[in-house]
Chains A and B, each alone.
Chain A
């Protein structure tokens, strides 16, 4: 199985900050990586797929990069609505494991 490791587990930031979340795969997954945002009591929401393709309707302040085993999600200027949990997921090979998540909260 491919293991996905996110860092940090928690991140405290302020509105307007630029933040970066890292996701590492235990073996190469090419660019088959997605990022999700989840707010309390809600279903996850797709932000990015194929490592860097922005899902329709997602604000351009979100961006993704990377390939192989190391990936990043960047939020360029944090907005109040962005404080949530974020997960990466590989869909290169079964099982399509998620990272353990990063909780982004207000400093």
Chain B
């Protein structure tokens, strides 16, 4: 059975950084890609980026380029999303999802984590 488990809620000050972890179990870690999606309060889903551990590649949407770093650790079957220079606009639930596979035709988010609430406030 596939499980995707994310780290807990975070309260951050403006200008600081946050790092959210996501651990996937069930299946071979390098057989999948991982996607990060965020959802601001009352808003829709926003694709942030994705990482393919087997290829050592990642992509982030232009809006977040320079502020987001996506990493993967095969030894712990975990992926990480670090977001820097936080503002109140970054207050959102951040979701990690494992995709159907590594190839282009499989990169739909299939198994989702429970979400991590990041609150940015003074």
Minimum CB–CB distance from B18 to chain A (whole Å) comes to 19
Contacts of A36 in B (CB 8 A): 45, 109
Minimum CB–CB distance from B35 to chain A (whole Å) comes to 7
Find out whether the CB atom of B115 lies under 8 angstroms from the CB atom of A43.
yes
Contacts of A87 in B (CB 8 A): 44-45
Say yes or no for A75: interface residue by CB 8 A criterion: no
Q: A44-B112, A55-B110 are in contact. Are A95 and B61 (CB under 8 A)?
A: yes
Contact with A along B93-121 (1 / 0, CB 8 A): 00101001000110111111111000000
Find out whether the CB atom of A91 lies under 8 angstroms from the CB atom of B108.
yes
Closest to B93 in A: A43
Find out whether the CB atom of A96 lies under 8 angstroms from the CB atom of B107.
yes
Contacts of A100 in B (CB 8 A): 44
Looking at the complex, which of A18-26, A45-53, A65-73, A76-84 is the stretch in contact with chain B? A45-53
Contacts of A49 in B (CB 8 A): 100, 108, 110
Find out whether the CB atom of A44 lies under 8 angstroms from the CB atom of B108.
no
Other than A46-B111, A89-B109, A95-B60, give 16 A-B pairs with Cβ distance below 8 A: A1-B62, A32-B108, A43-B114, A43-B115, A44-B112, A46-B108, A49-B110, A87-B44, A87-B45, A89-B47, A89-B108, A92-B104, A94-B50, A97-B61, A98-B37, A98-B44
Q: Interface of B with A (CB < 8 Å)?
A: 35, 37, 44-47, 49-50, 59-62, 95, 97, 100, 104-105, 107-115
A-B contacts, 15 listed (Cβ < 8 Å): A34-B109, A36-B45, A38-B45, A43-B95, A43-B113, A43-B114, A43-B115, A44-B45, A50-B105, A87-B44, A91-B107, A94-B61, A95-B61, A96-B50, A101-B44
